[in-house]
Amino acid sequence: MSNEPTAMQKYLAEMLGTFMLVWIGPGAGVVAGMVGVKGLSDVLAIAMAFGIAVACAIYVVGKVSGCHINPAVTIALASKGRFPWKDVTPYIIAQLAGAVIASLLFVACAGTQASTEYGLGATTLNAAAGITVPMGILGEAIGTFFLMIVIMGVAVDGRAPEGWAGWIIGMVVAGVIITLGPLTGASINPARTFGPYIGNLLFGGPCPWDQFIMVYCIGPILGAVSAVFVYDYIAKPEG
């Protein structure tokens, strides 16, 4: 009897993993606003929440679906033949669904103020700091490049030490958020932005869809795909 998870188990695992990410990560952003945490403490708290969420999701569903929990990661792996194209669309649908469910349930727990006052932790460009759309695309691409090249090194490469992928990937997510967060919100994941945008669309928070497409979809996908090709070229990984 095969122990290989079924397709539906993989899709549900992706939904669950993305739910965990969006509940904890953007949720931490909402809570930071509610309790009045500002400045560097705000960034550090949110970054740590995301890092923990990613690590937990990897250890929970990684063995089932690979724990992509990010459309950019799924597309990048497929672009180099490391993931079947036939599963790309259902994986992305599952990821987006998990993100939306997380955002809606957070509103159910925290009230509509989570959207109207705190934007459900949605990512938007920091216009006050002069961040433009091209700057945002570049920042998101670089941040996702770092994420994806670490994923390749510690999770995809067959030579990677076992058991460390969750924490190492979680920590690179936290590091990218500390650096990129004040500029773009450091999405580095289209699903992470999509969920709060849908919640905000329903409850009155910010959801600039032009930024979603240009900055939070194109940027991460370009960065992730580039990282896969760069890693394979310089490391020639096994597995």
Is the CB of residue 156 less than 8 Å from the CB of residue 237?
Answer: yes
Neighbour count for residue 236 (Cβ, 10 Å)? 8
Average pLDDT over residues 13-31: 97
pTM of whole model > 0.85?
A: yes
Is the pLDDT at 37 greater than 80? The verdict is no
Confidence of residue 40 (pLDDT cuts 50, 70, 90): confident
Neighbour count for residue 35 (Cβ, 10 Å)? 10
Residues 143-188 have pLDDT tens digits of: 999 999 999 999 999 899 899 999 999 999 999 999 999 999 999 9
pLDDT at 2: 61
Average pLDDT over residues 94-104: 98
Q: Domain 7-235: state its class.
A: mainly alpha
Neighbour count for residue 173 (Cβ, 10 Å)? 28
Is the pLDDT at 1 greater than 50? The verdict is no
Is the CB of residue 88 less than 8 Å from the CB of residue 75?
Answer: yes
